[in-house]
Amino acid sequence: MKILHVNTYDSGGGAEQFSYDFVHFSGMDCRLLVKSRRTSSEKVIELPSSLLDQSLSLADKVLWKAGIKKTLRQIFSLGEEFNFTVRKLREMKAYREAGIIHLHNIHGGYFDLDALIDIAAEKPIVWSLHDMWALTGGEAFTFGDENYRKGIGTTPYDYAYPLYNPLIDRRQHYIEKKKKIYKSISRNIVFVPGSNWLRECLTASSVYDHSMNVKMIHECIDSSAFINKHGRRWETPRVLIINSDSPFKGSDILDFVFSRIKGDFDLHIIGPPLRTKPNSKKAVYHAYMNNKTDLCNLFNEIDFLFFSSRAENFPLTVLAAMSCGVCVIGSSVGGITEQLQDGNGILFNPDNPEEAINITKASLENLHEARKTGEKASVTVKTRYDVRTMYAAYENLYGEVILKK
């Protein structure tokens, strides 16, 4: 059974890592089709570009040089139309030979929504949901806004990826279109949210229909690549933060908390420096890491991961840190709450930064207890969130889909 995975890219964030690892390490016969290829893997195929694609790409480069850092498709809300997706797919051997089409992120201006209808008429679809885009008018996350539940396509958050403040706002059109399409193809598609939180969002959304097949499978990591080396014997607490200019990642929380906490601790920072000077004993900066070995080594050199995201599904970074024995102090959003429940970490309200300060200070003062939390979390990941369990669940799902066909 050949599986063709489809994602925007093959390297980048969590969805990219998920789909790339699935194709390369699941042991199943998979290929990965992407809008734009970033690796040299022979299992990754780039979607062919049409003359229109090439023309728009040239125009986008001109816009970028002019300081307009978004595409023409984004400006006019045409990301889900006029990509000629089905025609491109039918020309590809990998698509023709595939028994199942496994979708991941299809936002990013390369995949037509109407293509779902044509694909579902030819092949069964499994769609792993890594964010809220499939449920909304176009937002990847809605930051708690519940308009998507009411069938209202607009929120105040059109500035973030993948919308970027479109000149023409067509979100109402798209949320209504998604509802119609999902209902029309419900017999030949399975939606797979990667957390219980996202499953609840989907089933409560306006696009959901009771005829839709929804199966939650947790996103997981290779716990054998992120091992706990049990070497934490230093006396000064070490905290790791990941800074980013993405509105999803809560950089403002990092600035607020670590400019105000005073204590004897070392702060490790992945990404750019904070806007305000941290009050830590020592600050150590690291570049972004894609190599699992390097990331595992870093996690084993710290006690805490302070994870400040304002929007997440089921972040693999949190699971990787937990697997290495790190005590995660995480914001209570999305699937993070599920990951850190039952004493596997510490949660704070991202809308209450004073609470985050108090929790972090108390944790730094109780290093022994924090390390016990990290040890517990490491065991939890190995028993509950290991990727081998996830692959087995997907393989079973593939079998069910093929039998149903």
**What's phi and psi for 100, nearest 5 deg?**
-140, 140
- CATH of residue 170's domain is 3.40.50.2000
Residue 380 and residue 392 share a domain:
no
* Predicted local confidence at residue 63, as pLDDT: 85
Domain extent, residue 341, equals: 238-384
Closest CA to 226 of 306, 323, 336: 323
Per the listing, tokens 């595409």 go with 71
DSSP three-state, residue 113: coil
Residue 243 and residue 270 share a domain:
yes
Calculate what percentage of the chain has a pLDDT beyond 70: 100
Residue 200 and residue 245 share a domain:
no
Contact by Cβ (8 Å): 326, 304: yes
Angle, helix 115-122 to helix 171-184, in steps of 10 degrees: 10
* Rounded-to-integer distance, Cα 320 and Cα 301, Å: 14
Tell me whether residue 228 is in a domain: no
Residue 258 and residue 210 share a domain:
no
Tell me whether residue 226 is in a domain: no
* Rounded-to-integer distance, Cα 278 and Cα 243, Å: 13
**What's phi and psi for 255, nearest 5 deg?**
-60, -45
Tell me whether residue 230 is in a domain: no
Tell me whether residue 152 is in a domain: yes
**pLDDT per residue over 128-182, tens digit each?**
999 999 999 999 999 999 999 999 999 999 999 999 999 999 999 999 999 999 9
**pLDDT per residue over 142-153, tens digit each?**
999 999 999 999
* Predicted local confidence at residue 334, as pLDDT: 97
User: Which helix (H) or strand (E) covers residue 387, if one does?
Assistant: helix 387-404
Could you tell me which residue, 52 or 395, shows the higher pLDDT?
A: 395
DSSP readout, 242-258? Answer: E--S-TTS-HHHHHHHH
Residue 281 and residue 247 share a domain:
yes
State the Cα torsion 192-194-198-203 to the nearest 10°: 20
- Number of domains the chain is built from: 2
Tell me whether residue 229 is in a domain: no
**pLDDT per residue over 351-401, tens digit each?**
999 999 999 999 999 999 999 999 999 999 999 999 999 999 999 999 999
Contact by Cβ (8 Å): 285, 231: no
**pLDDT per residue over 251-300, tens digit each?**
999 999 999 998 789 999 999 999 888 878 788 999 998 899 999 999 99
